Chains A and B, each alone.
Chain A
Amino acid sequence: MEIFDHIGAIFSISNLLVLVIATTGGLILGALPGLSPTMAVALLIPFTFQMDAATGLVLLGAVYTATVAGGAISGILVNIPGAPANIATVLDGHPMAKKGKATQALHFCFISSFVGGITGVLVLIFFTPPLAKLALKFGPSEMFWMAIVGVTVIGTLGSKSVVKGLFSGVLGLWISTIGISPIFGESRFVFTDHLTGGVHIVVALIGLFAVPQIYQLLVTSRQTSSGGLFTTEDTPLWSSIKYNLSRVKALAIGTISGVVVGIIPGAGGQIAGLVAYDQVRKFSPDASKFGHGEPDGVIAAESANNAMVGPSLVPLLTLGIPGSPTAAVLLGGLLINGLFPGPDLFTVHAAVTWTFIGSLLLAQIFMLVIGLGLSRSSSNWVMRVPSQYMAAAVTILAVFGTYSIQNSYSDVVLMLVLGSLMYVLNKYGFSAAPIVLGIILGPIAEDNFSMGKMIADVSDGPLVYFMMGSINLVLIFVCLVSIGYSIWVEVKQRRKVADDLKRSMPGSRVAAVGAVVVSLLVLIMVLSANGSTAYDFPFLLAVLLMVFAVLLFIDVLRVWDRQKSNGVLVEWPDLGAGIAIILGYLLVMPTIGFYLASWLGFNCIVLFYSAKKDRQQFTKTLWVSLCFIAVIYLLFSVSLRVVTPGWW
C-alpha cells in the first residue's frame, strides 16, 4: 500500500502539534451554533497560505473531522445542533442528557464518530477508483430520487404524529423555494427585502433550534430557582465503550448510510445522519423508544456523519467534484497548493496527498481521545451554568453565528422570526428536524427535477428518463419500501396506543386549525403568482400542505367535543421581557456595534432573569459578560478576522 511509504511524514513535531490544536479547536468551533464545518474550514484557508502544503492540509482535514463531531456537543448538552449534520444526534442525544446521561451520550457520540470516521477514511483509501465511477453515475434523475428518499424519512422524524411530521417537512420544502430560483431566474415569495437571498440552511438551523431553546431557558430560569440545566450522573468510560461496541447493528447502519451518502456528490453529508437515524429506527424492534433518549439514535447518527467525511473526499480528490459543502471549501485549500484533483494527486503529489489522508486517520484518533477527555468535564460544566446565563450566551452566539454566515443582518432578523414561530409550533407538537430536512432537500429535489425535465424533453421524455436506469430503479424501490414501512408502523402503533390518549395531545385543535390556515395562505400566494413553470413545484407543495392540514383537521374533528381546554401553552408573561431585550439588542446593534450591544444584551438578560438582584449579582454578571465578550472578540475578530455586525 502506497500510504505506508508516506505515513511517516505525519509524525513530524509540527504536524502533530497542528493536529492537536486543530482537533481541540475544531471540537470547540463545531460546538458553537453557526460555526458549521464549512465555515470553520473556509475561515482557516487564509492561514494555510503561510504553511507548507502538507501541514496546511493536515490542519484543514483535522478541523473538518473535529467540527463534524463537535457539533454534537452543543446538540446533546443544549439541544442546539452545531451544524446541519448533527440534527439527528439531537433527537435522542438531548433527551439522554435530560435523563442525566449527558456524559454517556457524549461518550457514545465520540466512540461512534471514531468508528464511522475510521471506516470512512479506509473506504477512501481502498475503494477510491470504483467509487469515483459510481459517483459520476448520479445525474439529475438519480439526484431527484435521492432527495425523495430523504423526503420519505421526514414523517418519522421526531414529531408527535406522522401527519404533523409530513406537514412540517413540506413546510420546510416550501421555505426552500423562497428567494431567486437559480434555474428559473425568478424571485418567488419575496415579500420583504430580507428574503431576496432565500433562507440559508444554517440560518434556519440556528433559528429553529436555538431560539426556542433560548425561550425555554428563560422560562426555566423564572420557574426554578436553582438554575442548573439538568443533573448528570457519572458513567465510567469503560462501560460506555463496552455498550457502544455491542450495538453492532446501529453502528453498521450508521456507517454504511454515511459512506453511501458521502459518495454522492451534492447530496451533502447534512442528510447522512438523518438517513441513518431513520434506518436504525425502522430496523429496531421497538421504534417508540426513539426520541426519548435511545442510545442507538445517537450511535447511528454520529457514526453516519463522520463516516461521510472520508467518502465525500472521493469525488473531490479524483474528479474535483466535492461531495459535501465542506469538501467544496476544502477544494480551495488543495488548489492553492497547486494540488489539482485527479490522478496526479496520487502520483506526482503522492507524498502530500497521502500525508493528508493519513492525517485524517490520525485526526480520528485525536478526536476520540480529546473528545472523550472533554465529555465529563463539559457536561458537568454546562450542567452548572444557570439557565439565564446560558440563555444570554446562546443568544449572542446565535446572533453572531447567523450574521457571520453571509454577513447579513437580514439573516439575523429571519433567524429570530423563524425561531419565535418554531417556539410556538413546538408547543403544538410540530418539530424542527423535519422542517430543516425539508429546507435541505427542497433545492436538491426541485433543481434536479427541473434540469432532468429539460434534458428529458429533448431526449426520451420524462417517463423513460426518470423511471429507467438501474440506480433510478433501486432508489424508487427504496422510496416505496420506506413509505410502506412507515405506514405499517403507524397503523401498528395506532392499534397499540389507546386512541383518546393519543388524540388528546395538547392544543391539537389549535394545531389543526393553524395548519389549515397556513396551507391556505401558501396556496393563495402560489395562485396569485404569475403562474409560470417556476411555480409548478410550489403549487405541488401547497396542495400537499392542504392535504396534510385536512388530515390533521379530520383527526381532531372526530374527538372535537371530548377535548379538554389545555389552557395557555406559551408562557408569554415569563417571556415578554426576554423578547423585548433581544429585540432591543438587535435594534441597537447596527448603531453601537456588535460587541457593545452584545455586552449590554448579556447583562440585561442575566440581570432581569436572576432571582437575586443585589450588588453582588450585579458585579458577578458584569465580570462574566466581560469575559464572555472578550473571548468572542479574541476568537473571532482577532484570530479568525470575522467581520462583525455593525462593522465592529
Chain B
Amino acid sequence: MILKKIKPSIVSVALSAFLLAPSAAVIAADFPSAPVQVAVAYGPGGATDFQARIATMMAGNEKYLNMPMVIFNKPGAGGQKGWNWYASSASTDGHQLAAYNVPHFIAQSLKFDTSYNINNLEPIANWGADPAVLIVPADSPFNSAADVVAWSKANPGKLTVSGAGLYVGHHIASLQFDKVANISTKYIPAGGGVAAMKMVLGSQVMAGFNNLSDAYRQGDRIKIIAVADNQREETFLPDVPTFKEQGIDVDDSSVNFRGIMARKGTPPEVIDFLAERVHLMFQDGKVAKKMKSGGSPMRIMTRAEVKSMWVERQAYLDKLLADL
C-alpha cells in the first residue's frame, strides 16, 4: 500500500530526469553537437534580426552545419548590451555565435567603455551590406547632392538630417558628408531607422540618411539622392548615383555590414569549419531568394575579407571620431 503511494513520486523524479537529460548532453566530440545559437543585439522585427533569421535558415541542411541555427535577441543600449554580454560571457565552443553590425560595434568600442573590440571577436562570414543613402522628402527642392551642399553652404548649420541614432552607419555617413563637402549640418538621432524615415516622410527634417533597403521600399514617397558606397547598388537602385559620381568623396565607410562572428578563444578548427560552411550557407539559392524578396541587399564575404574590412574601418573611424 505504501509502495503504491511512493511509486508515482519515484516515477515522476525519473521522468523529469529523462525529460531534462537530452538537452544537457553538449559534450560530444564532433562540432556542432547541438543547435548553434546566434545572438542578435537588436530587438525582434528589426532589419538585423529579420535578415539574420533568413541568412541562417538553411543551417540545418547537411551541406552546411547539419544543425539548426537559433536566433535569440539580446537588445538594449543600441546593441551594446548584447555585444557586451557576448564578448564577456558567451561560450567559446562555437555553439554560441553573434551577429555583428559594422560600423556600429566598432564605433561604440571606440567611443564607449565596452567589453568588446575587434581584437576579442573572430569574424566568421558576412552576409549583407546595406549602404546609407541620402534621402529628402518627395516635394523637396533638392535633386542632387550638389543642391544639398549649395543650400547648406548658404545656410550653415540649418540643414536638419535625421538618422537612426548615434555612432551608427547613418551618423558616420552624415559626419563624413559634412567633412568632405566642408559643410555643417544638424544631425538628429531619431532612436531607430523607422523613426528617422518617418521624419523625412513627414517633412519634419529637410533630409536624412537611411538604409538603402528601407529607402528603396518607400518608392516615390521620398527622393533618394545619393548612395554612400563605392559603387551603385545594381539590384535595387541601379539609377541612383553614388556620392563619388557626384563629385563628393564619401566612400563605403558608413556601409552597414552584417555577418556572423565568434568569440576569441573558440578552437581554430571550429572557426575554420564555421568560416567555410557559413560562407557556403549564405550563398544558398533559397537564402538569396528570400533576401531579394525582402529587399535586403546581400554582400557575401569570407572570413579573411571581413577581417581586413574590420581593421580598415577601425583605422578610419578612429580618425573621424577623434575630431568630434
Binding site for B on A (CB under 8 A): 38-39, 42-43, 45-46, 49, 136-140, 179-180, 182-185, 187, 196-198, 200, 265-266, 319-322, 328-332, 335-338, 340-344, 406-408, 443, 447, 451, 454-455, 457-459, 593, 595-596, 599, 615-616, 618-619, 622-623, 626, 629-630, 633, 637, 641, 643, 648
Most buried by B among A138, A451, A623, A629: A451
B24 within 8 A of A: yes
Beta-carbon contact of A140 and B72 below 8 Å: no
Residues on A with beta carbons closer than 8 Å to the beta carbon of B191: 182-183, 443, 447
Residues on B with beta carbons closer than 8 Å to the beta carbon of A183: 166, 189, 191
Select from chain B the residue with minimum beta-carbon distance to A405: B73
Residue of B72, B189, B202 near A182 (CB, 8 A) is: B189
What 9 pairs across the A-B complex have the smallest Cβ distances? Answer: A197-B76, A338-B293, A42-B44, A329-B45, A139-B204, A180-B77, A197-B81, A136-B202, A648-B23
Beta-carbon contact of A198 and B77 below 8 Å: yes
- From B46-54, B250-258, B264-272, give the one contacting chain A: B46-54
Given known pairs A197-B77, A643-B72, the reply for A619 and B9 (CB within 8 Å) is yes
Residues on B with beta carbons closer than 8 Å to the beta carbon of A637: 23
- From B142-150, B215-223, B226-234, B303-311, give the one contacting chain A: B215-223
**Shortest Cβ distance from residue B273 to the other chain A in the assembled complex, whole angstroms:** 22
Residue of A182, A197, A407 near B165 (CB, 8 A) is: A182
Beta-carbon contact of A630 and B9 below 8 Å: no
Given known pairs A182-B189, A328-B194, A408-B81, the reply for A615 and B5 (CB within 8 Å) is yes
Cα distance A290–B76 when bound, in Å? 37
Select from chain B the residue with minimum beta-carbon distance to A315: B198
Cα distance A156–B160 when bound, in Å? 39
Beta-carbon contact of B74 and A406 below 8 Å: yes
Beta-carbon contact of B217 and A596 below 8 Å: no
Beta-carbon contact of A336 and B72 below 8 Å: no
Cα distance A593–B23 when bound, in Å? 10
Beta-carbon contact of B44 and A342 below 8 Å: no
Beta-carbon contact of A322 and B70 below 8 Å: no
Beta-carbon contact of B221 and A595 below 8 Å: no
Interface residues of B in 179-214 (CB under 8 A from A): 186, 188-192, 194-195, 197-199, 201-202, 204-205, 214
Given known pairs A49-B57, A336-B294, the reply for A321 and B197 (CB within 8 Å) is yes
Residue of A455, A593, A641 near B20 (CB, 8 A) is: A593
Cα distance A137–B203 when bound, in Å? 9
Select from chain A the residue with minimum beta-carbon distance to B57: A49
Beta-carbon contact of B201 and A136 below 8 Å: yes
Beta-carbon contact of A196 and B81 below 8 Å: yes
Given known pairs A183-B191, A335-B295, A458-B158, the reply for A321 and B186 (CB within 8 Å) is no
Residues on B with beta carbons closer than 8 Å to the beta carbon of A46: 53, 57
Beta-carbon contact of A595 and B76 below 8 Å: no
B8 within 8 A of A: yes
1/0 per residue, CB under 8 A from A, across B74-86: the answer is 1111101100110
B119 within 8 A of A: no
Residues on B with beta carbons closer than 8 Å to the beta carbon of A198: 76-77
1/0 per residue, CB under 8 A from A, across B54-78: the answer is 1001000000000000101111111
Select from chain B the residue with minimum beta-carbon distance to A340: B217
Select from chain A the residue with minimum beta-carbon distance to B25: A648
Given known pairs A180-B78, A407-B73, the reply for A185 and B111 (CB within 8 Å) is yes
Most buried by A among B6, B53, B157, B191: B191
Cα distance A407–B75 when bound, in Å? 9
Beta-carbon contact of B44 and A39 below 8 Å: yes
Beta-carbon contact of A331 and B45 below 8 Å: yes
**Shortest Cβ distance from residue B241 to the other chain A in the assembled complex, whole angstroms:** 23
B299 within 8 A of A: no
Beta-carbon contact of A335 and B218 below 8 Å: no
B15 within 8 A of A: yes
Select from chain B the residue with minimum beta-carbon distance to A618: B9
Select from chain B the residue with minimum beta-carbon distance to A331: B45
B282 within 8 A of A: no
Cα distance A408–B41 when bound, in Å? 12
Residues on B with beta carbons closer than 8 Å to the beta carbon of A331: 45
Cα distance A336–B44 when bound, in Å? 14
Beta-carbon contact of B204 and A648 below 8 Å: no
Beta-carbon contact of A320 and B217 below 8 Å: yes
B19 within 8 A of A: yes
Cα distance A218–B76 when bound, in Å? 34
Beta-carbon contact of A197 and B219 below 8 Å: no
Residues on A with beta carbons closer than 8 Å to the beta carbon of B204: 139-140, 455
B167 within 8 A of A: yes
Beta-carbon contact of A337 and B293 below 8 Å: yes
Given known pairs A331-B45, A341-B217, the reply for A185 and B74 (CB within 8 Å) is no
Residues on A with beta carbons closer than 8 Å to the beta carbon of B195: 266
Residue of B44, B166, B217, B294 near A329 (CB, 8 A) is: B44
Residues on B with beta carbons closer than 8 Å to the beta carbon of A320: 194, 197, 214, 217-218
List 22 contacting pairs A-B, 8 Å CB cutoff, sorted by A: A42-B44, A136-B202, A182-B165, A182-B191, A196-B84, A197-B80, A200-B76, A319-B201, A331-B45, A336-B50, A336-B293, A407-B39, A407-B74, A451-B189, A451-B190, A455-B160, A458-B157, A593-B20, A599-B16, A633-B19, A643-B37, A648-B20
B12 within 8 A of A: yes
**Shortest Cβ distance from residue B13 to the other chain A in the assembled complex, whole angstroms:** 8
Cα distance A38–B49 when bound, in Å? 14
**Shortest Cβ distance from residue B29 to the other chain A in the assembled complex, whole angstroms:** 20
Residues on B with beta carbons closer than 8 Å to the beta carbon of A596: 16, 20
Cα distance A138–B203 when bound, in Å? 10
Beta-carbon contact of A641 and B70 below 8 Å: yes
**Shortest Cβ distance from residue B71 to the other chain A in the assembled complex, whole angstroms:** 8
Given known pairs A458-B158, A643-B70, the reply for A332 and B80 (CB within 8 Å) is no
Residue of B5, B39, B293 near A619 (CB, 8 A) is: B5
Beta-carbon contact of B201 and A321 below 8 Å: yes
Beta-carbon contact of B49 and A332 below 8 Å: yes
Residues on A with beta carbons closer than 8 Å to the beta carbon of B76: 179, 196-198, 200, 406, 408
Given known pairs A180-B77, A321-B198, the reply for A622 and B218 (CB within 8 Å) is no
Residues on A with beta carbons closer than 8 Å to the beta carbon of B158: 458-459
Residues on A with beta carbons closer than 8 Å to the beta carbon of B214: 320
Residues on A with beta carbons closer than 8 Å to the beta carbon of B43: 406
Most buried by A among B5, B111, B195, B214: B195
